[in-house]
């Protein structure tokens, strides 16, 4: 494992935190992202290579994988942007993954390949008995999920033995503008996951031989399993926002409770309980308010 770890979409918040984890291990990191994004804190840092480009360009994908020991593929067009232009979303999320996989097959087929997918690929499971297992059929309810299903399929056909992580909604302990509409109904089951635990899962997936070729659900665990209205009420209470301002979906979204027994056994990433998240969020709000 002498080559760098490639993180596509590495200039985002998850990518930056993951790069820091690998640097703490003493590993070199190659951060790949679009030319126009902010690379402050990455460019010129010891042990970090910055490569700017577009994953939809095959030549760029080939350059990105040269000499790498592992790839963590985070780059994707996310909702709501993914829902505005299906053609662009498929180009980035599906064709981009195909270019990367083909390039890695040619350059280093034995390198670890970790793909960031989504639990949204299960679609509406609200009328089924939880938890949702990784073997559950995939049924997209939006363009983003459709693109992730297609990307997963092509990666499974490759020679890479990818680790596919179907990640739940990511909770960040920071004051942020609430979404215009929460991605679940008020009484719908939902289970998010702490951002740091997502980073831990991605980091562990690169290093765990047992994970190769497997599909895992990545979610917060039992303490995070609640209902939409309860989660929003808890978050709004910490931020001082009246619950009456919350808007929920009128029909079921893709959220549910997930079976994470195997992912937790192999990756051991569930380190932040739901109560920890609320406490961290409260601390951040107080800090922002100067308390």
Query: Which residues touch 47 (CB under 8 Å, ≥6 apart)?
Result: 23, 26, 27, 28, 29
Selected catalytic residue, list 122, 144, 231, 269: 144
Other beta carbons within 10 Å of 179: 12
Active site residue 269: no
Distance CA 227, CA 257 (A): 10
Query: Which residues touch 240 (CB under 8 Å, ≥6 apart)?
Result: 285
How far does Cα 193 stand from its chain's mean position? 10
- Catalytic residues, by residue number, are 144
């Amino acid at each position: 494992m002498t080559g760098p770890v490639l993180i596509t979409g590495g200039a985002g918040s998850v990518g930056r935190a993951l790069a820091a984890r690998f640097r703490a291990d003493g590993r070199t990191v190659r951060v790949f992202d679009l030319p126009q994004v902010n690379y402050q804190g990455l460019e010129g840092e010891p042990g970090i290579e910055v490569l700017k480009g577009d994953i939809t360009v095959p030549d760029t994908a080939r350059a990105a994988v040269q000499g790498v020991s592992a790839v963590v593929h985070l780059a994707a067009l996310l909702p709501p942007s993914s829902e505005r232009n299906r053609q662009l979303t498929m180009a980035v999320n599906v064709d981009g993954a195909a270019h990367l996989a083909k390039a890695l097959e040619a350059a280093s087929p034995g390198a670890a390949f970790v793909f960031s997918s989504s639990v949204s690929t299960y679609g509406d499971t609200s009328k089924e008995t939880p938890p949702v297992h990784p073997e559950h059929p995939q049924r997209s309810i939006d363009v983003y999920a459709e693109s992730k299903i297609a990307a997963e399929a092509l990666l499974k056909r490759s020679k890479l033995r990818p680790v596919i992580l179907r990640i739940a909604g990511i909770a960040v302990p920071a004051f942020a503008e609430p979404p215009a509409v929460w991605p679940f109904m008020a009484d719908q089951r939902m289970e998010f996951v702490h951002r740091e635990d997502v980073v831990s899962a991605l980091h562990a997936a690169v290093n765990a031989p047992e994970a190769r070729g497997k599909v895992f659900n990545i979610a917060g665990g039992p303490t995070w399993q609640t209902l939409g209205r309860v989660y929003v009420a808890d978050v709004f209470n910490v931020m001082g926002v009246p619950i009456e301002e919350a808007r929920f979906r009128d029909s079921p979204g893709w959220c549910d409770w997930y079976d994470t027994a195997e992912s937790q056994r192999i990756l051991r990433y569930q380190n932040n309980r739901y109560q920890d998240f609320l406490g961290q969020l409260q601390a951040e709000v107080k800090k922002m308010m100067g308390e």
